[in-house]
Structure formats: C-alpha cells, structure tokens
Structure 1
C-alpha cells in the first residue's frame, strides 16, 4: 500500500468536506437541536418543541436591561404611568423581551412583588397604564424576557396622587339635600332673600314667632280670617267691601226682589251651574275651569289655574298639553314627553317606574345645524352604567357604546361614517392600545391597531382572493415588520422573502452593450441584491452574450464577503468541434469545450466570443457575507477591448437565495 497516496487522498476528501456548505443535505426529523452556551447551560431549542409545535424557542436568556424611569401624571381617581420604550443604559430591545411591569406602592422604598403589580405594557414602543389610587404612590418599572427573567427595577418616581375634585368637576344638580350632612347649612351660609314664602312649608310659622303688628290686611290671603276669628260686633256695614256678602252668608229668603238694585246681579253673582242648557254668545271667559266631567274619563282646560289641557282615563291624567310640551301616559304606565323648550325639541320615553328612559334629541352642534341624537336606556356592565348612542352630526354619523353621564367615554363596538371615510371597529377611550378599526377611504381599506384573522368555512374557491386590474404597477402583496419588507410579491409574481429561504431574481428586460472597455462595472438591472450581515447566499443563473471582444464577468460585494463561484461557458479562446476536427475561434457545429474552474468572488473570468455568435454562461456560486451588510451586483465588461460591442441580452438573469 502506498501510504503517501492514501494520505493525499484523505487530505483531498477532507478539503472538499470543509469547503462544502454546512448542513447542506441535513434534516431535523421529529426532534430539536439544543443551543448551549460556553458553560453548558441550555439557551435555545431549534425544531420540534415539547408541545408538538415547530419553532425557534429562546430559553434561560439573560435579564433584560433596566427600563428607563417611568413617566407619571396625576388624574382623577389615580395616576397614569407611561414607559417610553427605552432603557436606562441606552440598550436596544433584546430579541427575547416580553413585557414591562408597572409597580406602585405607598412606600418610597420597596421591592417589586406580585402585591405591587398594577399592570403590564406589552408593546415595545411603550404605552400608558392607569393606576387607581386614593393616596400618593411611588412607581417603578420592571422588564421581563420570554423566560420570565426580571431586569433590575427602574428608579422610583413619586410621590404622585390623584387630582382633587374641584367645583368644575361636579356636574350641575349632582349635590342634593340628601348628600348634605346634618347642620351642614348654617345661617351664615344662607344668602339674604334666599328663603321666601314658597320655601316655607304650611304651618311652619307658629304665632309666637310673629312680631306684634307684623300682619296687616295686605299680608292676609283671601278668606284667611273666618267667623270664628271675629269678635261679636267687630264687623259693621262700613267694614264690608262691595260684594263681600255672598248668598251663602244670607239666611233663606233674606234678599227679595225689592232689595236688589237695577243691574246689581252680574256674572260674578251667579252660582256654579246657575246657567244650564243655554248658549253664551260673545265676550271673553277668564279665570274659569272647563271640564267634560268632574270625575272619571274627562278632558279639563285650565285645571287648578295651571294653563294646561289634561286628558284623564278612569283614574288618572294620561295626556297633557301645556307650554312645557306634550306628555302621554300609556295603559302600562309608560310615558312619552315631548319638550319644545330648547333650540330644538326633545322626546323622552320612560318606563312606568321612571327608572330608565330612551331619548331622541335635536341639537345645534354648529351654528344653524340640526343634529339628531338617539340614546338607548342605560344598562349595567362591569359595575358601570352604559348606553348606546347614535348621532347624526353635521356631515357625519356615529353609533357607539358610551358611559351614561360621561359621554366622552366609549368602550366597545363603534361605527363612524363621514364624507371621506367609513370606519367600523372596537374603540376604548380609556386605553388606546385596545383600539382595532377597519377604515374605508377612496380606493383603500385599512385595519389599524389590530390583526386580521380569516377563518373561512370549507369552500371550493380561494380563502383569500386578489385580482389586480390590467395596468396595475404596484406590488400584489407586501408584508412588513417595523417598516422592513419580509415578504413581497410584485406585479409579475416575483417573490422576495426575508430571512432563510429568501429568494430574489433579477433579470435584464432590455439588451445592454459595452465597447472598447475591459473595466467591469455593475450591471444596471442585474444588481443591488440586498445582503444581510453574517448571512450566506447561493447564486445561480444564466447569462446570454455575444461579441468578438469576449465577455468578462465578476462581482461587487460588501466588504469582508468571502466565497467562490463557477461559470460554465466558453474558454477565452473558443474551442469547437466540427467535421471531425477541433478548431479554435470558429463555430463548432458539433459543440464546444467549456471551462469549469472555481473562481474566488474577488476575481473575474472571461468567456470567449466569435463575431456575432450568441453564447451562454451557466453561473453558480456561494457568498459568505461578513459583519458588513450591503448589496451584491453582477459586474461585467469586454475581455479584450474591441470597438465592436459585447452584448448582454434580454432575459439574462441571476437568482440569489439566503441559506444561513
């Protein structure tokens, strides 16, 4: 055995193995690859996971960096805590970052524990959390990674407490007498003239409280003094006003015709029901009550001098027409009230118990407008009173779920229409991060704040269908993350995929020519393949050329890039075979010899040409990009300077695929 030949053979085989791509034909079947650090600790799992899914799972990662200081502000009922998405030492967001916890305590010095946890911020851009409290608190933040490992807590910020409630925060009419403590209102708090006779209940003043001579005739109501209060002989004829003595004060037959003066009996002297079956013509009737009956079903006019028309059923008033509006009561006790005493009328519809009502109102939101609002009755959800509101505004329409008595707070489904857009979605005015809306504008539909899930039933047609019109020039599909393209399908169906498996094809759509030059420069169309740092790419393709000056090609790559490539094509001198003989730089009707050398990416190769004969080069190679990202481009020129052009033809193309 020749030991020297054996060792040489083994050395050649080992070199081939080292030059070949790692794991180029490997597979991970029903298992996972463990990634461990220099100490042997498990840091990641690539492949099959314990729950049966397939993923790259980062575990036991180092603690996240310390979050920046929280931004705290006082609000009614508590404080708001915001994180700006930054870290105290200027670190970038770790790949295994999961969330930021918001902790609050009444103590200035404390460690974050479950009892101090008030909420979490799940978005890397930062957000705001509301912390309810009724006293001052101190706030700090803690970051956690996907393994649950906590960072060093942020600095403590505080104390901050809720804003005090001032008069401008109290709704009109919300403080009633039942809310006042006993003896809360003293004489010093009562304004001069604030209490009049209408505020004093009947019989509230007793005789010992009246100063002598305080009550004069002008202070007495009609008929306030009756016979039992008058001493015998106190009233004489001189003391009687005209018409002061009426028939009920006279004894039977006390007044005879002879006692009556001409014209002394007028309407004021007639008893009720004195005129029956007669027609009254002309004149004005004032100060009277008109009614169809005294009890039961009836209609009354000016009852109790109240300037109203009332309609009664058998037991109660069921309709009212007055300057205050129109009111109706149904057989169940439900009520409708039309109130005209505003810029526009309001219609209220309530139940018999007056515990709930729906309202239709018209308001002048802007000068001259007539906006319509429809409000449902209130209902209780999450221990709060809510209602649904529909509003037809000045060139817009909204339907939403709002708080009763706090109409600027809306949480739930919402539809909004305007002259330029239509939006349907979920809105939370207390937490903008929960918003998710689908908006339609001219030519575009957009989902903002949420994600789209399509869950079609089994069907014969496509679950997602897109058909662009003829003449469309933009992409058919484009998926991005943080503004970076991850998956793109252009109008011609070309697919660009970011990450391992990313494949990009560039081709010439026109012929290109070069004359009298051997300096290779980047092609204008087969160029600018994006190359990530520390990534590996394979390249393959077909280049079609002609020209007596030959075709020289090479590469422009990012600094630090290594690799090799091969082009299978003519040698610099074209060796052909025709009529049973080998010939140089002449057409070979039976074929040609080709060059097969491997070439470093830093070098160029020249492939021969014969006059205007068209040849091709099959290209394949591998690029290992270093720490510097950039672009990879085809560079070419003539192999030998010649005034006759070397042409790179339409449909020449290269394809770059990321493999690591």
Structure 2
C-alpha cells in the first residue's frame, strides 16, 4: 500500500530542488540588448548590444543627483585651489548612480556652468582638492553628474580668489616696506651677528632698550664673584641666598628649596610656605657605594601621624637595588603599605604590614620564574574576546602545562599533550566542550533540541483525522546536523482488532511528516498498548530550520482512540542532536 504522507514529502522535496535551480543559467543575448525599466515603464538601462555596435551596460534617463555642498576655495601659487568635502546639500545621501563632481570656474560673477567653464572633476565620493591655473581672480562652483549624464543644479559660487604670485613674477624692488607687515621680521628671522655695530646708528640703543636695572655697578670681568654671601631679591618675594655653602631659594608664595652639602651627606629639602618639610632628596652610602634616597614629608593616615613614602636607589646596606616603601619617620622598621623592589637578580611587588601577624603578600619575578607568595590570585578581566588566562609553552616543552596541588599532592594536572588528570570527579553545570566532541573519528551529538511530555490522557477521538497530543514551538534544526526524533507512551482503542498511529509533523496536524510510526495494533478493546519509535532526520538544506513540531495520533480501522498515561508512562516526544549529518548519509532529509 502506498504511503501517501511519505509520497507527499518526497514530492515537496523535489519541488524545493526545482525552485532552487538557478534562473537564466543557460540564457544569452544574441545581437540585442536587455531593457531595464522602472515601475512607471520608463527605460532606465540597456544591457548588451548598443546602438553604436558596442557591448556595454548603459544607464539612461536617471534623475539628476543632489546638489553638492558649496566648494571651499582659496588662493594658490599661480592659480586657485578648489575643494569638495564629499557631502551633499541638506545632508542628502549619495545616490548609487553618482559618477563625479565637476569643478567649474570663471572670472565672471554669477556665471552659468558650461563646457567652457569646466576646469576639473573629482571622481571619488570622499571629495578632494583640485588646482585651477589662472592669472586672474576666479569664482568657483560645483555640480554633480550621474551615470546617465544628468547634472544636478550648480552650487552657490565661492570667490572671487586671486592667484598667489610665483617667484618669477616678482620683480626686483617690488617688495617695499609697505608690503611688510609690522612685526613680520622677528629675531628668529635674523642670522646671528647679522646686525653689527656698523649697522646701528649712533645712540640707537639707549636706556629704553635695556631692561630696568639690567646692568648695575661697575663692569665685571674674569667670570668670578668673590664674597662670603650672595643675596638676590626680585622685589616680588623671590629670593636667592648663598651662605656658608648652602643655597636657599624662596618663591613668592613662601615655598623653599634648600641645598645643603655641609651635612654629613648632602641633602636637598623642599619646604612649604609654613616651613614644614614637603620632601627631601639626600645622599646615602659612602664613597665606594654611593646611593640616593627620595622621600616625602611626614603625613597623617588614621592614628599614625608620621608616615613617609621613601624610595632608595643604589647601595642599601647589602646589595645595590631600588625599592619604594611606606615607613614611619619615627621608626623606619615599621612598613605598612605597597612595596616595590628591583635588584640585580629578582624584582618584587608586595603588600607588607609589619604591625600585622599576617605574612607579606608578594609577587617575585626572577629569571624564568614568577612566584606568588602569601596571597591568592584573582583574575577579574573586563569583557573581551581574549582569553582570561593564557598559557603558551614553546615547542619542545616537556613539563606540565598546569599543576594544581594541595599539601604537595597533585589535584589537577594538564600534560603537554592536553591530557587532564583529576584526583576527583569533574563536574560541569553546562557544556564543557567549545567544539563538537569526536570519539574514534565520529562527531558526537550535542544533546536535546526539544522535549515535550504530558501525564494526562489526550481524550478520545473518532474518525481518521489526526489530533494533536503535544506541541513544541521554536525547535531549531541546525544545518548539516542529524537528529533522532523519538515518541513513546501508551495507545488505546475502544474497538478490538483496530489500531492507533502516532506521527511527528512540522507546524500542524497536516504538515510535513518527520516521524511516522507503524500502526500500533490494539487487538483487545480498551487495553493499553505500549509504543516507542524513533527516526533519524538530517538537515541538508544549508540553513538552520526553526519551526513548530506537533505529535499527533489517529485511529486505524475504526474505533475511538486516545493516547493514555499511567503505570509510570507518559505521552512524550523528544528531538536529540546525534551528530554531523555526514554520519547518517541515508537518513531522511527535512526542510
């Protein structure tokens, strides 16, 4: 007996194949052209043989393009420069049949653009700048053209702009004093010693040309000033005092810099307007191991009033290095805060609090090794397409890529080959594979795509029209994948020697059949008969299929039938991804 449902599905598949066949795949234009017309019937293009015997795509009868924006223009050497910014008046969008912008220029105001005024074209939609040679001032305007040759209205005219003279056009003596702006010739434009004594008029340099009090006292020769003290006062609070080897400079706001090399080791102090130390630079070490300290002045943080940030460079009592720490001025062994150290063999970034019983938390970096000690590592990167943690070992690496231990015992190990060993079970709350799992060269399934079940009977039906038992919307059948469709449950008919048929269809009770069971025979009236059927389908359509699936039933050979539940049975159907469609080449394809 012919299965009408299967035959219809095959006819539908064959019709879809015909509809996908390329149109005009073997067509040709023999000594003629193909006309393209718009919705009003007007001819817009000719494709093929043209009236002059050439072969081309000829665009005709296009409407005029929008007006370009007003050009920018300005003088240039021996002519005028004109530019277009690539935009159109009123923010209009560039039409797809735009071909160029014409640049027109004329010495006459309010001129009409024509062949005699066309000076250049701009062929790129990004705009551009063109040069127009001229010896007279010019007005500039633009207009756009499309592939049909239609022109837009002209833009407003810019100008007139006179060309700048070139070197050969400037005669001897033509640049006079009236052509040089006041202040145009400044000191950087004069060569050293260009103005000599012989060029200065007697008395031309007088007291008004010198800064007030620039030269006082008698002439000083020899470059040496002898004296026990030196004092300078700018009259506005700025002071410089040199005495007994100490240099003290004072700003008008009262801040001071004191350079004192007379102490055991030289020091530079920075004092605020109230005389408190804001910071210091002092030498340390000795003649064979000199070093330098840079420190802030004391400041208050909580109950402590004498914290200082100190940076030591050079000899630190044991080795040469560089370190920064927050210490107390009254007791430099008290360290509380961030800590940086760079030495000859390693570097450290740490948090140290010597007043706490907790050990320091530090990152130590040395040749080939980075060590976290006394701390946990938390990685909280921003959202990104990059890996949060990246380990990349070079070719030839034979050690473990990852080794997690507890009390010296391995808990999780990853070998160079990617083998993972865990001391206990590995649990995942979602998929643990970023790509399909392959076992023995066979791509495995991705799991459930759909599942529906009911724990109540469907209700009795008569006649041979199919009834819907379950509906699942938004089922996605991925392209190039295979799926197993399964139905199971209990069937019942109130007439003996009859049957029930269960199907899974696409969309509704008359849609394409994706699963069709054999007739579930019911030899005894009102008895439950268990069924369970499955079918493999593949999606070879090239695109994902998202649809509604329904599970139906219908009486066979008469009687009133329904899908029953109970005794631990449910009426259910499921769709399960079982792998790549290439693993099931003979399975039923769906669309």
Please report the TM-score for the alignment, with normalisation by the length of structure 1.
0.29
Please report the TM-score for the alignment, with normalisation by the length of structure 2.
0.32
More strand by share: 2
